[in-house]
Structure 1
Amino acid sequence: MKEANILVVDDNKNVLSALEILLQLEYRSVKTIRTPHELTSFAGLKGVDIILLDMNFSAGVNSGNEGLFWLKEVKKRAPQISVIMMTAYGTIELAVKALKEGAEDFILKPWKNEKLLNTVKSAWLIKKSKNEIDSLNKKQNNLKQEINLHKNIIIGKSPALNEVLKLTRKVAKTDVNVLITGENGTGKELIARELHRMSLRSQEVFINVDMGSISENLFESELFGHVKGAFTDAKVDRAGKFETADGGSLFLDEIGNLSLPMQAKLLSAIQNRSIVRVGANKIIPVDIRLISATNSDLQGMVQDGKFREDLLYRLNTIQIKVPPLREREGDIEILADFFLQNFSRKYGKHGLRMAPNVIEKLRGHTWPGNIRELRHTIERAVILSEGDILHTGDFLMQSTTQPKEKDLFSLSLEEMELVMIQQALERYDGNFTAAAEQLGVSRQTLYNKVHKMKKNG
């Protein structure tokens, strides 16, 4: 039975009965209505695949104009529907006119069952092909957007970074599983993309999955896909990330956030190099290059019973450790200049430059948030800048030595306010709206306070 929804519109009850009996043996759903006026209120119109529409509904009228009118109405409301026109008073001119108005085909009454079934089948196959082409085009556009969104390049010349890139080049041409480790904000995803870019799979897709954002009840559906009806919201068949990445690279970020049950399911897919969609029994082989990343101590988690040792061995054929920014000597200045140029263009503040003592201040910070923290720090400075030169007071950075609770009473109210603002901005990666909401003030108030602090050094 073909997965199509058919609607027949005809004022002749015998015609409706005959077509319903004939078509319901071939198609999933066949519904009938006796007047085209019901089309305007038909609840499931957008879910209909093919409409068989009579061309004459008024007694004594054989021009076909009624059918052409309702053809146009259908196309206005649901242009994706394939419409096949039916009439007992057909002419070549009328058929041509119907096709010009968007009809898929034309059937003369009385029909021959075999011919009618072939006409409907042909319309269904054409519609399926169009749907597949639209789906492929949408996927291609999404992938292009994803690629353009992540046209990031790895910036830096430090020995520590060069060692990482050297190892990356060595393993890129192989298909071994790679585990990328490092602190938050060090650029683990960039290394993963560099691995893919230099691999033999570079012309295929790179699929990025944030494992920390996937809830346990949706884990299998997200990674392995599902079939229609597998659960309440499963309206259509859906491929998972493993299937989508077939032939390319699959990057599992924040792998240390998985629960033990989720780890077991992931291990099975990696070992068998195949998946089964939720609600199905069919085994689907997958050919992927697996790259994982974490800021957690997985070996320590294994010892604590929080991470499967056999899964760690599968993920960790090669480990690439990305150094923190504080260990990348000389890269802070290069990155700061790179971000300054980017954000100056983005916010239309051309000609901005940093005062000589700014770099000294940036070098003296330990950057617990690494490159991500540096990027947000530069962006904030550019947004709030008022002149052509950025001074040290324009860079609001989180103190690396936060006051202990017992020391808070030694701070002035203004100093305590500064600490709270710094912590809120750091927590929300420089997002003034989110930080202001946490602090219980308006965004403009927070902006004014930060501006005042900058002016006071």
Structure 2
Amino acid sequence: MQLSKASVLVVDDDTDVLTAVRMLLRPLVKEIITEKNPEQIQSLLSTNAFDVVLLDMNYKSALNTGNEGLYWLKKIKEHRPQTAVIMITAYGDIDLAIRSLKEGALDFVVKPWHNEKLLSIITDAVATKGTDKKAPPQTIDKTLAGPELLGESEVMQDILLKIRKVAPTDANILILGENGTGKELIAKAIQQHSTRKNKPFVKVDVGALTESLFESELFGHKKGAFTDAREDRAGRFEAADGGTIFLDEIGNISLHQQAKLLSVLQNRQVIRLGSNEPTNIDVRLLWATNVPLSELANESRFRKDLVYRINTVEIMVPPLRKRGNDIILLAKHFMDVYATKYMRSVPDLSKSAIDKLMHYHYPGNVRELQYAIERAIIMGDSPVLEAQDILFSPIESAPAPESAVLQSNLGELEKATINRVLEKHHGNLTKAAKELGITRTALYRRLGKYDI
């Protein structure tokens, strides 16, 4: 069906939204009806054959927290199963909007939207009406996103959909997840699918910055601001101007540092050390931490006003152990990568190897799987990888402690393992971290923990 022959119903209790959509669609469609009260939906459906319904997720009614939209979606599908429903949602309801797709909605649009994007979604909905066609599967360009985002599991498909929807906006995004799950790759995918994709992408591991370096690195300094400040220098925020800044390990910064960041967010300005002159900045902010959101809400550790600022949209990256068959998909990907790198034939996976991969708990997540497969390719000389060919990191594979005594023993084991690997590589931290299957930052933390 052509858009010019379509009949559209828009249901939203915001009159500004109704007016904007009516003005946008009136010249393009056969009929557009707007309605503030969702209680009128059934009456309207009984007297009109709408091709598309744009339905808000939230209304000022007894129902609340986004469930209104799901309730009315079900009612529409009961009365008019062939009608294409597009959900209208705010950033905070994206998880519910994703759930709405599983309950019959064709797509959703995030407020505020670009008119071109809304028209594209409505046009697609009109074209698919009556064909029982579902929204296309969500994909992210693998050359941009990286192997950590390969995945066919439901949880990864939900993440890809969320990235596709929020990337074109300027919403602040908090990326949560364990170490090694691919939070940085999520950030890069958001950048590359945003309107700022041709602008700078600047990553800062803020958790590794000392108090003395924090302001200089992020906000810059003037010549003479401190002993080694021999020239003016722009900070990371200025370097990212027009693009995206990704602040990793945000959960590890001090309350003083948090106050400095909050001031920048509120004013959209930075002041270099040694200067009183503010510089305007235009950046999109992405944040990541392995600290659970419940801990970030602890005001003795993290400012609640900053949490609200950074958590416009939340993306929870699942641990590898919860991704099911994605484990084998990723393992085969890494086998291809490292067989090519080391000029080997790509081996097959035996049933015992598959069983071992599927039943391991992956405390180091995708990064640990990657290093395990790399070692197996390097050391293997058989056309088939067997279970005994796949060895996991001695640090990460230690079982979780069940008592204080066991925890102490594991600490001694971890310290001894680190010392042995450091001695093997003559103190080379990069090589040691690679063999241990952890990042240099994680190795630094362990060195400090055990006073090595």
Q: Give the TM bin, normalised by the shorter chain.
A: 0.5 to 0.7
Unpaired segments ≥5 residues, structure 1: 1-148, 409-415, 448-457
Corresponding residue for residue 359 of structure 2: 364
In 2, are the aligned partners of 1:256 and 1:298 still within 8 Å (CA)?
no
Report the aligned-residue RMSD.
3.1
Corresponding residue for residue 391 of structure 2: 396
Q: How many residues align?
A: 281
In 2, are the aligned partners of 1:212 and 1:255 still within 8 Å (CA)?
yes
| TM-score, normalised relative to structure 2 | 0.57
Instruction: Write the mapping of 1:150-189 to structure 2, written as runs, cut at 5 A.
Output: 152-153=146-147, 154-189=149-184
More displaced, 345-354 or 304-313?
345-354
Secondary structure at 1:372 match in 2: helix
Is structure 2 residue 379 aligned with structure 1 residue 381? Answer: no
CA offset at residue 420 of structure 1?
A: 4.8
Is structure 2 residue 264 aligned with structure 1 residue 269? Answer: yes
Q: Please list the CA deviations of residues 374-433 of structure 1 after superposition, one character each: whole Å capped at 9, or x if unmatched.
A: 11111121222233322111112254636768999xxxxxxx99x958x877x79xxx84
Q: Please list the CA deviations of residues 424-449 of structure 1 after superposition, one character each: whole Å capped at 9, or x if unmatched.
A: 77x79xxx84374699xxx9xxx9xx
For 2:200, which of 181, 195, 205 is the aligned residue? Answer: 205
Secondary structure at 2:381 match in 1: coil
Secondary structure at 2:221 match in 1: coil
CA offset at residue 366 of structure 1?
A: 1.3
CA distance in 2, matches of 1:406, 1:308: 32
Instruction: Write the mapping of 1:304-323 to structure 2, written as runs, cut at 5 A.
Output: 305-323=300-318
Amino acid at match of 1:401: P
Instruction: Write the mapping of 1:274-285 to structure 2, written as runs, cut at 5 A.
Output: 274-285=269-280
Distance 1:160 1:151, change over 3 A: closer
Instruction: Write the mapping of 1:47-446 to structure 2, written as runs, cut at 5 A.
Output: 152-153=146-147, 154-303=149-298, 305-397=300-392, 398-399=396-397, 401=399, 420=413, 433-434=421-422, 436=424
CA offset at residue 151 of structure 1?
A: 6.8
More displaced, 149-158 or 358-367?
149-158
Distance 1:331 1:424, change over 3 A: farther
Distance 1:210 1:406, change over 3 A: closer
Secondary structure at 2:257 match in 1: helix
Q: Please list the CA deviations of residues 216-236 of structure 1 after superposition, one character each: whole Å capped at 9, or x if unmatched.
A: 101000000111111111111
Q: Please list the CA deviations of residues 301-348 of structure 1 after superposition, one character each: whole Å capped at 9, or x if unmatched.
A: 432511000010100011111111111121000000011111112222
Amino acid at match of 1:253: D
In 1, are the aligned partners of 2:258 and 2:306 still within 8 Å (CA)?
yes
Amino acid at match of 2:205: D
| TM-score, normalised relative to structure 1 | 0.57
Q: Please list the CA deviations of residues 148-207 of structure 1 after superposition, one character each: whole Å capped at 9, or x if unmatched.
A: x98724211111100011111111111111101011111111111111111111111111
Distance 1:366 1:291, change over 3 A: same
In 1, are the aligned partners of 2:296 and 2:307 still within 8 Å (CA)?
no
Amino acid at match of 1:221: S
CA offset at residue 351 of structure 1?
A: 3.3
Corresponding residue for residue 123 of structure 1: none
Distance 1:318 1:407, change over 3 A: closer
